[in-house]
């Protein structure tokens, strides 16, 4: 009931007009006091709602809510235009969810189809890498996860984060004509700070067919209060765009580009994409430091190889770094 009430309030408030608390209560069969409590909970999720006596509740700015039908329509046109052979994936859109990755992982393996997508307006338990929380304010970003079956087993998962980063680059460029930078192993940068992150969850054995869930968190229009909770420097796409970002159209573009890149990776591996990666590598040929637990290694980033490993030059010798609990940063 609580989730249903919140979803009804969100849809009522989304157009940006005043909505009477009395009428909302009557429609839902609850008191005005209960409505006030739910509105307070929505503000804690990142929605900027204010009230005026005699008028009711109003959003400071109208919400451009995700709409499944719009996403599928744009996606169908995008896939047809590109002339590829990918089928239209199943797409789910949720208002409130714990984590889009967790939602798909709970449905492994029999309740998912190849390329199935989960999108959400808000995550109560969004995850980043290394156990970090992914700050997920309501209705202002893109939180997207896709299921992808790995026929060759977990060994094929090595390059997934790089392939996904290229897909994000493709989608942002196509939608807003903005070129992002890529940072090994799982970040997308814009003007030197973080714009988006990638989280890959895996299940299976090294040499047997396995399962992956690929999560993307893309900052579109970060509310000021939510931005204060983020521990590292960040930016959002709207701050760099002269036109309003259409969340539905960009979500569809992300799905299409990710499906296309994953199919290419499945057929040809990472090697044909390496030049594109290096063209947009934020740290290529720059001094960096690699942090693994308490250990810090200083070197020069020389790009990545066709298995997705970082090429780190240390004292004239090339080391291959295959990911794990590591963090790559500029060495200033």
Q: What is the pLDDT of residues 51-87, one digit of tens each?
A: 888 889 999 888 889 999 999 999 998 776 555 556 7
pLDDT (0 to 100) of residue 182: 96
- One domain, residues 214 and 246: yes
User: Is pLDDT above 70 for 232?
Assistant: no
- One domain, residues 144 and 160: yes
Peptide bond into 179 cis (omega under 30): no
User: At 82, which CATH number?
Assistant: 3.30.930.10
pLDDT (0 to 100) of residue 126: 79
Please pick, among 129, 183, 247, 302, the residue that the annotation labels catalytic: 129
- pLDDT tens-digit readout, 195-210: 999 999 999 887 788 9
pLDDT (0 to 100) of residue 172: 96
**Which of residues 234, 253, 278 is at a domain's end?**
278
- What percentage of the chain has pLDDT greater than the value 90? 51
- One domain, residues 55 and 72: no
pLDDT (0 to 100) of residue 83: 54
pLDDT (0 to 100) of residue 205: 80
- One domain, residues 322 and 290: yes
User: Is pLDDT above 80 for 276?
Assistant: yes
Determine whether 302 is an active site residue: no
pLDDT (0 to 100) of residue 326: 73
pLDDT (0 to 100) of residue 226: 54
C-beta of residue 125 within 8 angstroms of C-beta of residue 99: yes
What average pLDDT score do residues 302-320 get?
93
- One domain, residues 115 and 240: yes
User: At 313, which CATH number?
Assistant: 2.30.30.100
Which tops the pLDDT comparison, 116 or 25? Answer: 116
* Cα(291)–Cα(298) distance, integer angstroms: 9
Domain count, the chain: 3
**Which of residues 59, 78, 105 is at a domain's end?**
59
92 forms beta bridges with 118
pLDDT (0 to 100) of residue 52: 87
pLDDT (0 to 100) of residue 285: 93
User: Is pLDDT above 90 for 271?
Assistant: yes
User: At 26, which CATH number?
Assistant: 1.10.10.10
pLDDT (0 to 100) of residue 209: 86
C-beta of residue 144 within 8 angstroms of C-beta of residue 216: yes
Please pick, among 68, 107, 132, 194, the residue that the annotation labels catalytic: 194
In this prediction the pTM is 0.88
- What percentage of the chain has pLDDT greater than the value 70? 91
C-beta of residue 278 within 8 angstroms of C-beta of residue 314: no
Determine whether 329 is an active site residue: yes
Domain ranges, residue 316: 283-330
- One domain, residues 200 and 326: no
- One domain, residues 18 and 38: yes
- pLDDT tens-digit readout, 161-191: 999 999 999 999 999 999 999 999 899 999 9
What average pLDDT score do residues 270-294 get?
93
- One domain, residues 191 and 314: no
- One domain, residues 271 and 287: no
What average pLDDT score do residues 98-109 get?
94
Mean pLDDT score of the chain, rounded to an integer?
A: 88
**Which of residues 14, 35, 59 is at a domain's end?**
59
pLDDT (0 to 100) of residue 143: 94
- One domain, residues 165 and 300: no
C-beta of residue 115 within 8 angstroms of C-beta of residue 148: yes
Strand duo 91-97 + 117-123: pairing: parallel
Q: How many CB atoms lie within 10 A of CB 291?
A: 13
Q: pLDDT-based confidence at 139, cuts 50/70/90?
A: confident
- One domain, residues 240 and 113: yes
- One domain, residues 86 and 218: yes
User: Is pLDDT above 60 for 151?
Assistant: yes
User: Is pLDDT above 90 for 5?
Assistant: no
């Amino acid at each position: 009931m609580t989730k249903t009430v919140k979803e009804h309030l969100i849809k009522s408030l989304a157009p940006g007009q005043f909505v009477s608390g009395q009428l909302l209560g009557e429609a839902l069969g609850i008191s005005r006091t209960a409505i006030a409590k739910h509105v307070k909970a929505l503000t804690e999720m990142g929605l900027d709602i204010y009230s005026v006596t005699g008028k009711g509740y109003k959003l400071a700015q109208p919400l451009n809510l995700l709409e499944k039908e719009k996403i599928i329509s744009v996606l169908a046109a995008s896939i047809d235009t590109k002339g590829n052979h990918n089928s239209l994936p199943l797409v789910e859109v949720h208002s409130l969810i714990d984590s889009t990755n967790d939602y798909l992982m709970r449905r492994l393996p029999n309740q998912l189809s190849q390329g199935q997508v989960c999108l959400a307006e808000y995550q109560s338990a969004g995850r980043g890498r290394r156990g970090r929380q992914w700050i997920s304010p309501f209705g202002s970003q893109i939180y997207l996860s896709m299921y992808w079956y790995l026929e060759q087993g977990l060994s094929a998962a090595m390059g997934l984060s790089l392939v996904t980063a290229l897909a994000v680059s493709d989608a942002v460029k196509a939608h807003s004509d903005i070129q992002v930078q890529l940072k090994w192993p799982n970040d997308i940068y814009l003007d030197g700070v973080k714009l988006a992150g990638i989280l890959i969850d895996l299940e299976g054995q090294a040499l047997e067919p396995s399962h992956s869930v690929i999560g993307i968190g893309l900052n579109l229009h970060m509310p000021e209060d939510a931005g204060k909770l983020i521990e590292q420097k960040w930016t959002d796409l709207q701050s760099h765009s002269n036109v309003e970002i259409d969340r539905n159209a960009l979500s569809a573009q992300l799905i299409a580009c990710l499906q296309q890149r994953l199919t290419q990776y499945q057929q040809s591996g990472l090697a044909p994409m390496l030049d594109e990666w290096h063209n947009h590598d934020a740290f290529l040929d720059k001094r960096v430091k690699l942090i693994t637990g308490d250990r810090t290694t200083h070197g020069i980033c020389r790009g990545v190889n066709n298995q997705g490993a970082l090429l780190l030059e240390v004292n004239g010798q090339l080391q291959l770094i295959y990911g794990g609990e590591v963090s790559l940063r500029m060495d200033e």
